[in-house]
Structure 1
């Protein structure tokens, strides 16, 4: 006599496979976001056209430590996400891998913290570049360095998108672990 397989039992593995495929796709998107952000910020510099040999008016990302941290954070998270792809593929093939999902939740949480810290520190500097701070006598530089400011602002978009994707990845993994049959 064969045990009957209920509709709920059949549905659960397909749902987990769909979530695993979505997880893999989101990891690839996050890799693109963090890599693009690191490259965009790391290659940003602008020299004003009225610079002379005696005075060079130049803005570079590595003049500001917060931007260096941003590049390192994005590159680190990008590397981690690339290294996590085989585990994500494993979850597509083997849906009941609870221990590796729990490990991914833990590591994804650490990378979320690193990426959020990097993006937030850079966002504070970008805000000052756009608005300045009159009480501290810091002038806004984006009127002069428009290309520089546009690139650093664009790199923040990719990084904060990756932050949102990591939040979604953690939530999806937790959902799969929560729904796992006992």
Structure 2
């Protein structure tokens, strides 16, 4: 009878060890899954920063659009029928600048809901991939508009004697100040867009 009992004890010991090993594996698995919360918190923080940057870029792009689109100055000589006038649409580069920044402003408004989705569900990579593609396209568009306008603003301030381009900012001071501020605001928007692309790239890498 005692021999039978010892045999029973020998069978139970491996079972207890097996259960202990299974329990240890379960604990390790739960610990590994719980550690992923830190990555989710980082991505949510980046998504919040992304939303703030989009609001700042919207303010810069919209400000550049309004400042350039309302730039207009008229110089009166002798009578009101003999005038010199400077408007943004007199130069195609300025018209393209207004169009590019207006498109960027509209895109930023439409992208805000997607940015909010990234805050609520940071693990969704499809939304972030869409944003990085569109952000890159808008960076190229706004950079082209800002660069073209900056070249015209430089000529308006400095002129070019080789091609008889006369500097007009001495006469149209208010006009030049307005368009110069618009160009600066547009380059700020470009810088913010670049930061948005970097943030999206970091989030996609962590996925």
Q: TM-score higher than 0.5 here?
A: yes
Q: Which runs of 5+ in 2 are unaligned?
A: 1-25
Change (3 A) 1:51 1:169: farther
Q: Which has the higher helix share?
A: 2
Segments ≥4 residues shifted beyond 4 Å: 5-8
**Aligned match of 2:154 in 122, 127, 136?**
127
**Residue 76 of structure 2 contacts residue 83 of structure 2 at CA under 8 Å; is this kept in 1?**
no
Deviation string 1:122-146 (CA, Å, 9 cap, x unpaired) is: 0010000001011001010001111
Alignment partner, residue 169 of structure 1: 196
What does 1:1-182 correspond to in 2, within 5 Å?
1=26, 3-5=30-32, 8-50=35-77, 52-180=79-207
Distance in 1 (alpha carbons) for counterparts of 2:139 and 2:87: 26
Distance in 2 (alpha carbons) for counterparts of 1:173 and 1:37: 25
The SS at the match of 1:74 is helix
Q: CA deviation at 1:17?
A: 0.8
Q: Which runs of 5+ in 1 are unaligned?
A: none
The TM-score normalised by the length of structure 1 is 0.94
Q: CA deviation at 1:148?
A: 0.3
Q: CA deviation at 1:7?
A: 7.3
User: How many correspondences in the alignment?
Assistant: 180
Distance in 2 (alpha carbons) for counterparts of 1:147 and 1:7: 61
CA RMSD of aligned residues (A): 1.4
Distance in 2 (alpha carbons) for counterparts of 1:22 and 1:142: 39
The TM-score normalised by the length of structure 2 is 0.83
**Residue 51 of structure 1 contacts residue 57 of structure 1 at CA under 8 Å; is this kept in 2?**
no
**Residue 35 of structure 1 contacts residue 75 of structure 1 at CA under 8 Å; is this kept in 2?**
yes
Q: CA deviation at 1:97?
A: 1.3
Q: CA deviation at 1:179?
A: 1.5
Distance in 2 (alpha carbons) for counterparts of 1:91 and 1:99: 10
**Residue 31 of structure 1 contacts residue 78 of structure 1 at CA under 8 Å; is this kept in 2?**
yes
